Amino acid sequence: MTDEIKIKSDTSPVKIQPAKSSRNQTSPSGKRIYMRAVQGVYQTVRRRMGIFFMAAFMLLPWIQYQGKQAILLDVANQEFNIFAVTLWPQDLMFLVWILIIAAFALFFVTAFLGRVWCGYMCPQTVWTFIFIWFEEKIEGTRHQRMKLDEQAMSAQKFSKKALKHFCWILFSLHTSLTFIGYFTDISQLYIDFFTFSASFAVTLWVLFFTFCTYGNAGWMREIMCTHICPYARFQSAMFDKDTFTVSYNAERGEKRGPRSRKADPAKLGLGDCIDCNLCVQVCPTGIDIRNGLQYECINCGACIDACDGVMDKMGYQKGLISYTTERQLNGGKTQVLRFKLIAYAIVLAVMTTLFANALYSRKPFDLDIIRDRNQLFRENFNGHIENTYTLKIMNKSQSAAVYDLTTTELADKTQWIGAQQIEVAAGDVANLPVSLVVDPALLSEPVTDFYFKITMKPVGEKPITLYEESRFFNRL
C-alpha cells in the first residue's frame, strides 16, 4: 500500500498524515470544494440518520408534558426540566456523568469504527449537507455550479446566488430559534421575535447563532473539520491496526489508469482503479483517499459509494474502497475483540450503570441545615440547652408537596420549637427556623450526633423520607 502507515503494535496510536496533493477540483481561487452528489448504501444511511436527528432536534422543544414544555433548560431561573425530571444547580453532577459517558462512548466508537461520528452524526456535517442540498437544488450539479461561478455576474447568476443565500439564512434562523427554544418558551419566542417584542438579549443570541450556522455550514464547511475541530487532531491516539476506517486497497487498485469496459486490466498491466477521480469529487473535505489514511477523512463513506458504483459499471468486484482495517489490507485477520475496545466497553458500561443508579436514587427534594452562627448553644431560664437551626427545604419536583419534620436519637429528649409541617411549592425553597431544647442531664456527651428526618408527602404518591445529619451542642 502506497504511503503505508507504520504502526508499532496492535494498540499503538496511528500517525495520520495529510494527503499529498490530489485535492478536489476547486474554484479558480483554489479555496472552494465543489462536492458531487452520490447515491449509495452509506449515503442512504447517512441521510436517514441526519433526517432522524434533525427531526428530533426541531420537534423536541415543541413537545408538551403536563401542560408545560417537555424540555426547557431555564438558565435564568436555574431550573432544567426534562419531561418528569427537574434538575437544579445542585444536580450538576449529573451533567458531569453525561459528559464522561459521552467521552467514553466516543472513544469506543472511534477505536472500533474510526471517525464515523463526524461522518454521520456531527451537527457540522448534517447542516453542511443540508446547505449543499439547497445549493444543488438552486444552482445545479457540481459541474453546473463550477460553471456558474466562472461566469460574469448576470441577472440569472445574481438571482440564483441571492435565492441560495436567502434559503441558507432562513434555515439558519430557524435553527437558531429552535436552539434558543430549548432555553425559553419556544412558542412565545417565535411570537416575540417576529413581532419585534423579544428582549435585546434574546434577539442578540438568535442573531448570533444564525450567523454561526450560516457561516459554519455555508462558508467554512470542511475548514471546521480539518483545521478547527480538535477531534481531527487527537483521533489517531485511538486508532490501531484493527480500527475500521475508509481505506483504498492499493494492492488491488494499482496501477491506476483508464480503460474500456471490455478491456482486460491484467493484460494492460493495470489494477482495478480506472483513475476516474470520483472518490475525490464526492469527498466533503476534498481529499484523495488513495493517498492513504488522512486526518481530514470523516469516514462518511461517500467515496465508497462512488467507487462501488464505478466498479459495478465496469463489471469489477466492489470494495476497492471500503470500511476495512490495516491488518486486513495487509492480509491478516481483523481482531475485533481486543484489549483497548473491551476496556472502553467496560468503562462505558460501568459509567452508564452508575449514572442510571444515581438518577434512579435521586430524591425529589433536598434539605440543607444551617446552624446559628452567633452561638453554638444558649441556656434558657429553666437551665435547658437550646440549639437553633435554619432548615432550607428545596422542592425539586414539578408539583407542590407537604413535608413533615422530626429528629432521630433526640426525639424522646427534645422539645421542638417551630413548625414541624410545611408546604413547599414546585421548584421553590422554604426556610424554616427551628430550635431544639434538651435537658442537659439527658445528654452524656458535650456534642451529640443526630439526624433531622424529613418526609415528603406528594399528592397521590407514596411518602419519601430523607435523613440529614447534624449535631447538638451541650455545655462544653
Q: Are 392 and 368 in contact (CB under 8 A)?
A: yes
Neighbours of 462 (CB within 10 A): 7
Q: Are 426 and 88 in contact (CB under 8 A)?
A: no
Q: Are 422 and 428 in contact (CB under 8 A)?
A: no
The overall average pLDDT reported for the chain is: 88
pLDDT surpasses 80 at 476: no
Lateral strand order in the sheet of 85-87: 71-74, 79-82, 85-87
What grid cell was written down for 150?
466562472
Which of 46-55, 76-85, 109-118, 344-353 shows the lowest mean pLDDT across its residues? 76-85
Closest by CA position to 279, among listed 35, 27, 26, 17: 35
pLDDT surpasses 60 at 10: no
pLDDT at site 16:
47
* More reliable by pLDDT, 29 or 74: 74
Percent of the chain past pLDDT 90, that is, above it, reads 66
Each residue of 423-434: pLDDT tens digit?
Answer: 998 888 899 999
Which residues on adjacent β-strands are paired with residue 321?
Answer: 248
pLDDT at site 171:
97
pLDDT at site 18:
45
Q: Which residues contact 334 (CB under 8 A, 6 or more apart)?
A: 242, 244, 324, 325, 327, 328
pLDDT at site 331:
87
Closest by CA position to 209, among listed 98, 57, 88: 57
pLDDT at site 361:
86
Which residues on adjacent β-strands are paired with residue 365?
Answer: 395
pLDDT at site 181:
96
Which band of pLDDT confidence, cut at 50, 70 and 90, is reported for residue 17? very low
Domain residue ranges of the chain, discontinuous segments joined by +: 41-238+338-353, 245-329, 365-473
Which band of pLDDT confidence, cut at 50, 70 and 90, is reported for residue 29? very low
Each residue of 352-378: pLDDT tens digit?
Answer: 999 999 888 888 899 999 998 788 889
Closest by CA position to 35, among listed 298, 330, 386, 360: 298
pLDDT surpasses 80 at 8: no
Q: Are 416 and 407 in contact (CB under 8 A)?
A: yes
CATH fold, domain 365-473, is: Immunoglobulin-like (2.60.40)
Which of 50-54, 157-161, 243-247, 363-367 shows the lowest mean pLDDT across its residues? 363-367
Which band of pLDDT confidence, cut at 50, 70 and 90, is reported for residue 228? confident
* Residue matched to cell numbers 450560516: 214
Each residue of 30-73: pLDDT tens digit?
Answer: 468 999 999 999 999 999 999 999 999 999 999 999 888 999 99
Each residue of 392-412: pLDDT tens digit?
Answer: 999 988 888 899 999 988 877
pLDDT at site 6:
40
Which band of pLDDT confidence, cut at 50, 70 and 90, is reported for residue 455? very high
pLDDT surpasses 70 at 13: no
pLDDT at site 5:
37
178, 51, 137, 124: CA torsion to nearest 10: 60
Pure H helices in 61-199: 92-113, 116, 123-139, 142-150, 155-180, 186-194
Which band of pLDDT confidence, cut at 50, 70 and 90, is reported for residue 4? very low
